[in-house]
A and B are shown apart, each in its own frame.
Chain A
Amino acid sequence: QKEVEQDPGPLSVPEGAIVSLNCTYSNSAFQYFMWYRQYSRKGPELLMYTYSSGNKEDGRFTAQVDKSSKYISLFIRDSQPSDSATYLCAIYTGGFKTIFGAGTRLFVKA
């Protein structure tokens, strides 16, 4: 079993839709959860960061961690074509090690 599992998609939605992106992980000891966004032919950049359980909101983006089910979610409200990118969940395991999901390709159609 991979440490982090993520459906690679692609996921195609119309502009204005609510997008839900998800990952599952295997180790209940993990505490630091992140979402990176990667535009085509660019490097990933940190989008959201959450420590332990709960929600974190930043504008149209909400990151959610459910440690009881080992489930990580990213919600995008009022999605825009500019949100079209690959979204990678990531877990910082300590010791300078970060493990990444496969990334979900998102297309938002105008």
Chain B
Amino acid sequence: GAGVSQSPSNKVTEKGKDVELRCDPISGHTALYWYRQRLGQGLEFLIYFQGNSAPDKSGLPSDRFSAERTGESVSTLTIQRTQQEDSAVYLCASSEDSGRNTGELFFGEGSRLTVL
């Protein structure tokens, strides 16, 4: 596709349920990021994938959060046993590894998660 695609765009779930959020990056982009944006706040880094390297999971807030990516394709962010504090917009971004990387990130429109 032309841009980063995320699904679902909106998800309402009950506390304690598991959710899966999906990201389809721009074709050819080797790097993929997940960020969390709470209402009125900036972007909080969660996890980063680069090609086949081990992901940088340093931003994951707890062991309830996990993410996978197969090769340079789709990624899934999973939140287990959701809590109300998990309510936020989850943004996925991708970037290219061109050797001239200036760090430009291309974002999807986000998945808005509401935990009741």
Contacts and interface: CB of A to CB of B under 8 A. Distances in A.
A43 B91 contact: yes
A100 B43 contact: yes
Q: For chain A, which range describes its interface: under 10, 10 to 19, 20 to 34, or 35 or more residues?
A: 20 to 34
A6 B109 contact: no
A78 to B, nearest CB: 26
Interface stretch (A11-19, A55-63, A91-99): A91-99
Interface residues of B, number: 25
B95 interface: yes
Contacts, number: 61
15 contacts: A32-B103, A34-B103, A41-B109, A44-B91, A44-B105, A45-B106, A51-B102, A96-B48, A96-B101, A96-B103, A97-B45, A98-B103, A100-B35, A103-B42, A103-B43
Contacts of B91: 43-44
B65 interface: no
B103 A101 contact: no
A88 interface: yes
Interface in B75-116: 91, 93, 95, 101-110, 112
Contacts of B1: none
Contact of B42 (A43, A51, A100): A100
Interface string B27-45: 0000100010000111101
Most buried by A among B35, B42, B56, B108: B42
A8 B40 CA distance: 8
Interface of A: 6, 8, 32, 34, 36, 41-46, 49, 51, 88, 90, 92, 96-103, 105
B9 to A, nearest CB: 9
A90 B40 CA distance: 16
B26 interface: no
A88 B41 CA distance: 10
Contacts of A32: 102-103
Contacts of B43: 44, 88, 100, 103
